[in-house]
Amino acid sequence: MIKNRESASMSRKKKKDYLLTLEGRLKFALYENESLKSENGNLKRQLEGILSENTVLKVTAPKRRAVCLMAVLVFVMLNVGPMSLFQGGPGSKLRDVSLQQGGRHLLAFSSEAETEAGMDPDSLGPGPSETGD
């Protein structure tokens, strides 16, 4: 009979410990559930904001595309259009004037320009290869 009482007492104690651990796990699960619900709500609000921003961008994209296309066309017309003036036709007077004035050639080397400036290569003296040691 004493062993039976001790066994029943141990069984009740184990059951009580088990219930306490279950209650602790339940409290933790409920807390985690609430925090995940609030995080889920925040993410849903962010998603709605991003989706609305996306629809706004989709609406304005064709306008932006048209502006870019027009800018490219203007650039091409400014670069190619004036060339047609120099190819003859009604603008041939402009071509004659531009040929009479001559153009600047920054990368071209002209021996005439060198002699005009009085810088004859022979009159400069010995070059670096002819100097003494």
pLDDT digits (tens, 9 = 90+) for 54-112: 888 877 766 777 888 889 988 888 887 665 555 555 544 544 544 455 556 566 555 65
22 assigned to some structural domain? yes
Kindly give the residue spans of alpha helices, DSSP state H, lying in 1-133.
2-80, 92-101, 111-116
Amino acid 58: pLDDT: 79
Range(s) of the domain holding residue 73: 1-81
133 assigned to some structural domain? no
- Count of domains observed in the chain: 1
111 assigned to some structural domain? no
Distances in whole angstroms, Cα of residue 61 to Cα of each of 54, 55, 56, 67, 90: 10, 10, 9, 10, 42
29 assigned to some structural domain? yes
59 assigned to some structural domain? yes
